[in-house]
Amino acid sequence: MLDQLLENDWLFEDFSARELEQLAGAMIERRMFSGEVLVLEEERPDRLFIVIEGAVEVSRQAEDGDRVLALLGPGSMFGLVALLDRGRRAATCVARQPGRIAEMPRDSFDLLYKSNAPLADKFQYAIARQLARDVKQMTRVLLAETLGG
């Protein structure tokens, strides 16, 4: 069932049915509840997430309180950077409405990301597309703050 949900995700549009099935096999689908903290800033990463249904708010602590960086909806992958660079989480992610997410544990991520299979190539490309989307979003936020609008 998760493979069918991923099929509608823009990140995985180039994946075959078999590849989606393999990807879904490395993930756990579960419900998320409004107000649930999915990722806590500065914690060690142990998984990545894909929003299937619902919304997730991304925020970072600032001197004047929490600063909202983004609101993620279905099709958004998050929790990537800390898995890639082995650092700590850069932001806190909280479910803002009930929904469903898919989680990929670090071990599955590492195995898939480092393999030489065609699925790994497509998965790495999906990660690059998500990171590019994130950079564009952060650029818009920074420009709006800098230009006062």
pLDDT for the residue 93: 96
pLDDT band, residue 149 (cuts 50/70/90)? low
In this prediction, residues 105-132 reach a mean pLDDT of 86
What is the overall mean pLDDT for the chain?
88
Domain count, the chain: 1
Evaluate if pTM is beyond 0.85.
no
Residue-wise pLDDT tens digits, 75-93: 898 998 888 888 899 999 9
Give the domain range for residue 19.
2-146
Res 73 pLDDT > 70: yes
Give how far the C-alpha of residue 44 lies from the chain's centroid of Cα atoms, to the nearest Å. 15
pLDDT band, residue 139 (cuts 50/70/90)? confident
pLDDT for the residue 82: 85
Complete DSSP assignment for 64-133? TEEEEEEEE-TT-EESHHHHHH----SSEEEEEEEEEEEEEEHHHHHHHHH--SHHHHHHHHHHHHHHHH
Residue 121 sits in a domain whose CATH number is 2.60.120.10
C-beta neighbour count of 55 within 10 angstroms? 18
Angle, helices 106-114/118-146, rounded to nearest 10 degrees: 110
According to DSSP, the residues that pair with 41 across neighbouring strands are none
